[in-house]
Structures are given as C-alpha cells and as structure tokens.
Homo-oligomer: A and B are copies of this chain.
Amino acid sequence: MKIGIDVDSGERPFYELVEGVLQSSLIYTDSVFFVIGDSSRIRSFFSQISEVDNIVLVDAKDVIGMDESPIIGVKRKKNSTIVTGVNLLKNKTIDILFSPGNTGATVAASVLGLGLYPGLRKPCMGSFFPRMEQGETFILDVGANPEAREDYLYHNSILGTAFYKNIFDVKVPKIGLLSVGTEFGKGSGVIKKAFSYLSGIDGFIGNVEPYNIIDGSVDVVVCDGFTGNTVIKVAESLKKLFSHKFKNYMSGSVDGSFAKKMILNPLKKMIVGSRNISELTESMLPVYYGAAPLLGVMGGVLVGHGMSGKNDVINAIEFALFMYERGTQRSIFSEWKKNK
C-alpha cells in the first residue's frame, strides 16, 4: 500500500504525527509512506528520516486553516497539504490519503480533485460506534454534508451498506434511519420521505433511535451530516464528562470516613489510577472518528479528527491497510453501480 499522511494541517504539532508514521513504517515495511508537509522542517526535526527506505517526503508549504472557507482555501492554496495529497491520489502515486485538517476542505478538495461517483450528488463520511456487546455500528453521514435531503439519505444508505458488507463480511447488514421514534411517521418531513426511499433496500429495518446504535439491533445507521456530527460529538463530550466526574469521584472519599479513605486510596489508584481514567474511558468507549472514511469520491480518503496525534496516525494507517487489502474502495464502487 502507498499511503499519504498530511502531517501539517491538524491541530497537533507535526512531529507527533510524523512519529506515528515512523513507527508504522518499521512495522509495515511493504508499504510506502508519503509524508505531506513542510519537508525542510520535518527533515530538520527528524534528521535520519530521508534514509528511511519506505518514507517519501512530499513538500507542501501551505495549510488550509481550520476556520478557512473550504472552497476558497482549496481553490487558492494549490500548494496546501490537502490539495497536494489529493493530487497524489488522483495520479495514483498513493492509494489512500489521511488528513486531520479542516474537514470541509478535505471534502471539497476530494470532490473537486477526484470527482464523485456517477449519479451521486454529495459524498458522506462514516464513523464506527461502540456497542454494549460485540461488534460495531457504522453511522453516516457524520459531517461531510450538513443538509438533509431524502435522496442524500438514500445514497448514504447504499454507500454505508456497501462499506459494512466489505469490512465485516456481512451479507445483508441491518440498516436503520435515525429518527426521534422507531414508529413509521416519526421525525421530520425529510425523514418520512427518506423512509419510503429506504424501504426498497435489503436489510432496512425502519427508523431507529440513538439507543439502537449501541444495542446491536442495527449495523448501519443513516442520518444527515448535521445529526451524525452531533451524535459523534455528544459521545466524545460525554466521555470527557464521565472521565472528569469519575476522577472527582475516585479522588473523593468513599463514605466520608477518614480511615477508609486512607486504606482505599492506594487501592483505588491501583484499580483505576487517576491518570489512567481518561485512557480507561477511551478504551471502553472508542469512537473512531479518528479515521472516518469519506465515501462516494473516486479515491480512498480518510478524514482524521483535528486532534489526531501519534496513535491516531498509527490507527489510521492500520485501518487504511485493512481497507486496502480487502479492496474496500473497489467493492463500494461496484455496489454503487449495481444499485443505481
């Protein structure tokens, strides 16, 4: 696999992301890693990097900022990391691109540079969500396109189902339409119209509610990008809230008795060291927004969280390799053509 990693447009310093690439390059020696960013800065920080066989530095001096207008940024900054990355994808230098930058810019650059599937109006972006028991639920759109339209939701369903089939080897994934109640007729006008559109899809189980995302009753949950983005961000916020409240709880006394406190505190630390509580909640409630596949564009794009650091890069690379080996992109495209 040849993968491009945009190390300069995220919110964390470039060297954290480069470290992730370096580590992965040692494990996946058959893959080639194209590090997209300010090459001279990267080289001066990692003096030996030019000698790593399977790392290629691709110089891109510009960055599209998080608050910049995506379309204007993409059109004006031809030498930005994201436009450079998309060009590498377009001319087949790389198979997959990972960028933790401005999501809108990544989406715009991909649509403008690679083009959409024939017949598709808008791309979408999916994310995995943890469940109570085994498995994971795939939710989309989580932010490529905030507007809800019934045909967009229908397209999201086809793309999401195709992705799930390929990734999890499930023949007919159960697909649900996120709404405010499971009964037909619940929700906004768009949701009601989308319900009819989706009825023709194998595996469509009707409306679902947020609880169904975690209870294992559905594999693919479809919604507009505004709602999906909210779901993911509420989940991330709740994790932080829980970590915080739990730290407070664990650093306080169990029952107010001083003696008990003295006895229990060291043990509390052993069980859930206060430093590790964030890691604990993270491991219990993973939300892989870290590498959300952008579906519907003619190329493999993984959209990273702005806060992506070393481990997120490593995970994204692993996920990219998994997709590459399963031929996920080709498989989704052929399902799309069948369904249109």
Chain A positions within 8 Å of B, measured between CB atoms, are 67, 69, 130-132, 143, 146-148, 178-180, 183, 185-189, 191, 209-211, 213-214, 225-227, 229-231, 233-242, 244-246, 249, 254, 264, 267-268, 270-271, 280-281, 284-285
Copies in the complex: 2
Residues of the B chain whose Cβ atoms lie less than 8 Å from the Cβ of A244 = 132
Least CB distance, A17 to chain B, in whole angstroms: 22
- Minimum-distance CB pairs A-B, first 5: A210-B233, A245-B284, A238-B238, A234-B234, A210-B234
Residues of the B chain whose Cβ atoms lie less than 8 Å from the Cβ of A131 = 241
Bound form: Cα–Cα A146–B240 in Å: 28
Given contacts A189-B147, A268-B271, A270-B264, contact A230 B242 (CB under 8 A): no
Chain A contact surface mostly: helix
Contact A242 B241 (CB under 8 A): no
Contact A130 B211 (CB under 8 A): no
Contact B211 A230 (CB under 8 A): no
Least CB distance, A206 to chain B, in whole angstroms: 13
Bound form: Cα–Cα A227–B210 in Å: 11
Residues of the B chain whose Cβ atoms lie less than 8 Å from the Cβ of A245 = 130, 132, 284-285
Residue of B with least CB distance to A263: B267
Residue of B with least CB distance to A192: B146
Known: A213-B234, A214-B237. 12 other contacts (CB 8 A): A132-B240, A146-B187, A147-B189, A148-B188, A180-B225, A180-B229, A242-B242, A245-B284, A264-B267, A264-B270, A267-B267, A267-B271
Residues of the B chain whose Cβ atoms lie less than 8 Å from the Cβ of A183 = 67
Residues of the B chain whose Cβ atoms lie less than 8 Å from the Cβ of A281 = 242
Of listed A180, A187, A249, A280, residue having the most chain B CB within 10 A = A180
Bound form: Cα–Cα A254–B273 in Å: 11
Bound form: Cα–Cα A67–B271 in Å: 45
Residues of the B chain whose Cβ atoms lie less than 8 Å from the Cβ of A179 = 226
Residue of B with least CB distance to A242: B242
Contact A242 B187 (CB under 8 A): no
Given contacts A180-B226, A284-B245, A285-B242, contact A237 B264 (CB under 8 A): no
Residue of B with least CB distance to A143: B180
